[in-house]
Amino acid sequence: MQNKINEIKNYVVEKLSGINAQADCQALRVEILGKSGKVTELFKLLKDVPEEKGKVGQILNAGKAEIDALISNKEKALANAEIEKEINSAEKIDITLPTGAECGSLHPRTIIQREIEEVFTSMGFVVEDGNEVETEYNNFTAVNVPENHPARDMQDTFWLDNGEVLKTHTSASQNRILKKYAPPIRAIFPGRCFRNEDVDASHENTFFQLEGVIVDKDVSVGNLIYFMKEMLSKIFKKQVEVRLRPGFFPFTEPSFEMDVRCPFCDGKGCPTCKNGGWIELCPCGMIHPQVLRNGGIDPEVYSGCAFGLGLDRMTMLSFNLNDIRELNSGNLKLLKQFKIK
């Protein structure tokens, strides 16, 4: 019986050497191990074995297992070769790649931010990134808001366990900028800010601002007005008229609120300007001498101005949005309107 098993095994080895398809392996398996296969026929002869049926049965089972392993190994080798061929083929099709996906679009706030950055860089400003997590010193003390100052209560801050704070305004970057660059300085620093606000159509707990500083000898309010008019004219794509009103900010002295004559109705009154003809846009002023000192700059030699801009407010004006919550909503139906053509 052992000789017959060996003969079948040799036959299988010879046949496998010439097989190049898994279907042929399956046909050989049926021929040898199927219901009417050659090994199956040997098992049928067990009943005629006069003695030692158990030993003969072991021989047949061992032979069957060896033959089955030979065929299975050949099938695996052919399958692996087919996969390798697909991988190395010139044409590669990723069946997991979604089809019909539409092109993405820039967020409307990003569009406005890039436009503003382009305007300022054309006027010699550098664009700086600010930290979103700041030290208490940079966020408050360095910009003339010491402990127990009422302005801290107004900002209702998110504090972290390590004593640092989610920055409440882009002014938190002023001290870093003043220390990084020696005068003359022209820099803007956009960024995300956080305050514990009650969210409604005009208030968000996460919002975006852009701040800028100019520090040099003999910087005046006239420089501030010039740069802001240039920026606003290019954003609104028309010459604009601005005005200054007295204001208060701890880090500027004197401080102003800069209004722009409504570019949508030319000051005649419309819903955008609440029929007042003017839109409040830019808090600004001359940098407080103490803020300059904190940044390592001598206020007896240099002066500077600072200005802020709400990127969310500019975006809402530019795209006629009436709810600030839309900007952080992830509402694709809304954002698709700003797709790059």
Which pLDDT score is estimated for 90? 62
Which pLDDT score is estimated for 335? 76
Angle at 264 between CA 115 and CA 227, to 5 degrees: 45
Q: Which of 40-44, 92-96, 323-327 has the highest mean pLDDT?
A: 323-327
Instruction: Name the amino acid, one letter, at 76.
Output: K
Task: Using pLDDT thresholds of 50, 70 and 90, give the confidence band for residue 104.
Answer: confident
CA atoms within 13 A on the CB side of 189: 23
The b-or-e profile of 37-50 (16+ CB within 10 A means b, else e) is bbbeebeeeeeeee
Percent of the chain with pLDDT over 90: 37
pLDDT in tens, 254-277: 999 999 898 888 888 888 788 889
- CB atoms under 10 Å from CB of 212, counted, come to 28
- Helix ranges restricted to H, 89-107: none
Residue 216 · residue 125 · CB < 8 Å: no
Q: Virtual CA dihedral for 149, 150, 153, 157, nearest 10 degrees?
A: -40
Name the pTM for this structure.
0.66
Please, what is the average pLDDT of the chain? 86
pLDDT in tens, 205-246: 999 999 999 999 999 999 999 998 888 888 888 888 899 999
